[in-house]
Amino acid sequence: MSKDNPTLIESATFPRHIIAEIQRAASTGIYDIRGFGAKRALPSFDDLVFLGASTSRYPLEGYREKCTTEVVLGGRFAKNPIRLKTPITIAGMSFGALSAQAKESLGRGATIAGTSTTTGDGGMTPEERGHSKILIYQYLPSRYGMNPDDLRRADAIEIVLGQGAKPGGGGMLLGQKISPRVAQMRNLPEGIDQRSACRHPDWTGPDDLEIKIQELREITNWEKPIYVKVGATRVFYDVTLAVKSGADVVVVDGMQGGTAATQDVFIEHVGIPTLPAVRLAVEALQEMDMHRKVQLIVSGGIRSGADVAKCLALGADAVAIGSAALIALGDQSPEFDEEYKALGSAAGFWDDYQAGNDPAGITTQDPELAKRLDPELGGRRLANYLNVLTLELQTLARACGKSHVHNLEPEDMVALTMEAAAMAGVPLAGTNWIPGKNGF
Amino acid sequence: MTEINLDTSSVRSLNVKLQGAASGDNFNVSNTGGKHAVSVGLTTAINVGINGHVGYYCAGMNQQANITIKGNAGPGLAENMMSGKVHVTGNASQYAGATAHGGLLVIEGDASSRCGISMKGVSIVIGGNIGHMSAFMAQSGCLVVCGNAGDALGDSIYEARLYVRGKVASLGTDCIEKEMRAEHKEQLEELLKQSGMSHNVDEFRRYGSARKLYNFDIDQVDAY
């Protein structure tokens, strides 16, 4: 119903944004490609609440009693596991998709906060290695910029089988973002669209993956933890197979996870939300008696310390943030609202990461735009944000009486909706009913 | 010459020895038994002779070393090789030379499907035939085939050069035959010489990218 004219009724089937998309498709003949993650409303961590301690539970004093946050990742087979001060890591984002300044900012911020950052498609830049105390090196299907020296320079290796924004899909860095440096790193001509393959070139299936992991360990002297990252789809089976293949750490990325560029139809319609993905991953680990032995990192739409706490309470060992980290650097800032508007968007709505003309200077290779982000300031802002998330996480854990954030458990939470109760496997608030459990 | 017997020595201890060796050292590896990840991650100009068949990823990510395999090699031979030389006297399975950035890979026999997939600068010389989808998304470097090539050769190829002496079952999307100019004959002659193969370069044809799919164009949608 229109605010100005109550006799006008907007169609629920054809609301204005759907009509606009049909008109856009009819006009251009091509599907919509964009960045960012799923924008539709999904069952999420907002649908869970904590049961703080009272008479039946004993809380911890907020400013006096310790609630530790350290986490160790990758000790299953690797000689040198990763040790983080906070269980909030920075997800893989490529140089190419992001400017060198943005990558440096992520490294600086993560290092101040005592956590890791992750490379992306296109290889490792000296800037991010130099500014990231703990750097995870992604091993991707395209193998752009992949070389054994960088593998050895990394602190851990993340084999990427998929990502939450587009499980089953490859990537595309459009020609407008292929600067001479990006082209040189990827061994391709400048200005052409660079496809990132959707599957690895030298194995098929989990049996081969086990041998691939053996090769990577042999090349890196069994020192580096091996992560396996999957987009959240058939999570129970994918996590089981990753563990069977020899992963030290499994990363599960829900459908709210961001991307630099893919089809809108992929972002909004493939994969499952992060909320059920955590539960399924934990169930797989528990069934193999590998929970806490193989660590679980969860990503996809993590925004607050509450989201982190709920993820950990469901059984994750750590989380990864991507879109939220970019927002902390300055993405979507009202400071650039006029420029966003000139590009047909607005602060808070910007999703054309693929276009290369990001007013905030983050998702661009334009040297003039990229200069807008001061890496020191960006790093400080990210560190502030990571510290706030950690403080919020501790606040919630203490309220539940936990002296380590890993002591949070599903029993500390209830769900506000039936969907969330079923997906997370916790009772609907005010009941002892978990849909799907005990025959109901 | 250091002898290493994989009946009594593990792949782990073999790779530790090879990765720690000084340039010019010589190794002879026996009783390979199809083991995986043999002689991977080498970084110095050593000579490694491998007597017998090897499994997956032999010579993976090789840098500088000269590795000769007297036998057949499993999938992913010399994957992501950076430099040096890998020579197989027998046949190789799928994805030989996948994503390799440099160096020379010689397979005297046949190579299976997806040989040279996403190659990024390596030179690959095959004495026999290669399977389907070889040089898929090949970015740069050279693939020389002295026998025949299977279906969809060079599908979605970028700037790699393909030289084939025999028949090509079919070309992949955006891959076309190109003129064999003097500079190509010279390059081919040199690669054959380095590989120990003797063929008349005039018997080869050259294939490469039509460069029509370098930027997404909706009018090309039927090509995919």
pLDDT, tens digit, 9 for 90 and up, residues B188-223: 999 999 999 999 999 999 999 999 988 777 777 676
Is residue B220 in some structural domain? no
Whether the per-residue pLDDT at B83 is higher than 60: the answer is yes
Mean pLDDT of chain B: 96
Residues of chain B contacting A208 with CB distance shorter than 8 Å: 56, 75
List the single residue in B with minimal CA-CA distance to A173. Answer: B215
Closest by CA to A267, choosing from A164, A165, A163, is A165
- The total of other beta-carbon atoms located within 10 Å of residue B89's CB is 15
Is residue A344 in some structural domain? yes
Give the contacts of A101 (CB within 8 A, at least 6 positions apart).
Answer: A361, A370, A371, A373, A374, A375, A378
pLDDT for A171: 77
Q: What is the CATH number of the domain that holds A229?
A: 3.20.20.70
CA distance A234 to A242: 12
Is residue A8 in some structural domain? no
Question: Closest partner residue to A215 among B37, B63, B158, by Cβ?
Answer: B37
CB B36 within 8 A of CB A215: yes
Domain count, chain B: 1
CB A203 within 8 A of CB A232: no
pLDDT for A172: 73
pLDDT for B224: 63
Is residue B124 in some structural domain? yes
- The total of other beta-carbon atoms located within 10 Å of residue A190's CB is 12
CA distance A142 to B130: 22
Select the residue from B63, B93, B101 to test the A interface by mutation, using most A Cβ atoms within 10 A.
Answer: B101
Is residue A273 in some structural domain? yes
Inter-chain touch B121–A219, beta carbons under 8 Å? no
Distance (Å) from the alpha carbon of A178 to chain B's nearest alpha carbon: 12
pLDDT for B137: 95
Closest by CA to A316, choosing from A349, A345, A286, is A286
pLDDT, averaged in runs of 10, over chain A (440 residues): 82 96 93 93 97 91 91 98 98 93 96 97 89 97 94 98 92 78 85 86 95 98 98 98 98 96 94 98 98 98 98 98 97 95 95 93 95 97 98 97 97 97 97 88
Domain that includes residue A206, residue range: 35-424
CB A365 within 8 A of CB A26: no
Distance (Å) from the alpha carbon of B99 to chain A's nearest alpha carbon: 7
Token duo for residue B132: 């389907």
Is residue A429 in some structural domain? no
Inter-chain touch B76–A202, beta carbons under 8 Å? yes
Is residue A17 in some structural domain? no
Q: What is the CATH number of the domain that holds B8?
A: 2.160.20.60
- The total of other beta-carbon atoms located within 10 Å of residue B220's CB is 13
Give the contacts of B30 (CB within 8 A, at least 6 positions apart).
Answer: B3, B4, B5, B6, B7, B51, B52
Closest by CA to A92, choosing from A128, A51, A55, is A128
Q: Which residues of chain B are at the A interface, by a Cβ-Cβ cutoff of 8 Å?
A: 11-12, 15-16, 19, 36-37, 40-41, 43, 55-57, 60-61, 63, 75-76, 79-80, 82, 94-95, 98-99, 101, 114, 117-118, 120-121, 136-137, 139-140, 156, 158-159, 214-216, 218
Residues of chain B contacting A189 with CB distance shorter than 8 Å: 158-159, 214
Inter-chain touch A211–B55, beta carbons under 8 Å? yes
CB A230 within 8 A of CB A238: yes
pLDDT digits (tens, 9 = 90+) for A304-344: 999 999 999 999 999 999 999 999 999 999 999 999 999 99
Is residue A14 in some structural domain? no
CA distances from B220 to A29, A277, A409, B224 (A): 12, 38, 53, 8
Distance (Å) from the alpha carbon of B94 to chain A's nearest alpha carbon: 8
- The total of other beta-carbon atoms located within 10 Å of residue B216's CB is 16
Question: Closest partner residue to A218 among B15, B76, B118, by Cβ?
Answer: B15
CA distance B56 to B78: 9
Distance (Å) from the alpha carbon of B27 to chain A's nearest alpha carbon: 18
pLDDT for A394: 97
pLDDT for A2: 62
Question: Closest partner residue to B37 among A30, A172, A218, by Cβ?
Answer: A218
Closest by CA to B76, choosing from A206, A201, A222, is A201
Select the residue from A174, A219, A220 to test the B interface by mutation, using most B Cβ atoms within 10 A.
Answer: A219
CA distance A369 to B71: 55
Domain count, chain A: 1
Inter-chain touch A189–B19, beta carbons under 8 Å? no
Sign of the CA dihedral A122, A127, A129, A132? Answer: negative
Determine the residue type at A25. A
Is residue B224 in some structural domain? no
CA distance B137 to A199: 13
CA distance A169 to A270: 10
Closest by CA to A178, choosing from B120, B138, B214, B116, is B214
Inter-chain touch B75–A208, beta carbons under 8 Å? yes
Distance (Å) from the alpha carbon of B198 to chain A's nearest alpha carbon: 30
Question: Closest partner residue to B99 among A28, A146, A221, by Cβ?
Answer: A146
List the single residue in B with minimal CA-CA distance to A190. Answer: B214
pLDDT digits (tens, 9 = 90+) for B95-108: 999 999 999 999 99
Closest by CA to A317, choosing from A182, A201, A421, A225, is A225
CB A370 within 8 A of CB A287: no
Question: Closest partner residue to B99 among A143, A175, A218, by Cβ?
Answer: A143
pLDDT for A411: 96
Domain that includes residue B143, residue range: 2-212
CA distance A200 to A213: 13
Is residue B99 in some structural domain? yes
Closest by CA to B84, choosing from B101, B98, B96, is B101
Inter-chain touch A201–B41, beta carbons under 8 Å? no
CA distances from A166 to A247, A263, A281, A429, B179 (A): 22, 9, 18, 33, 40
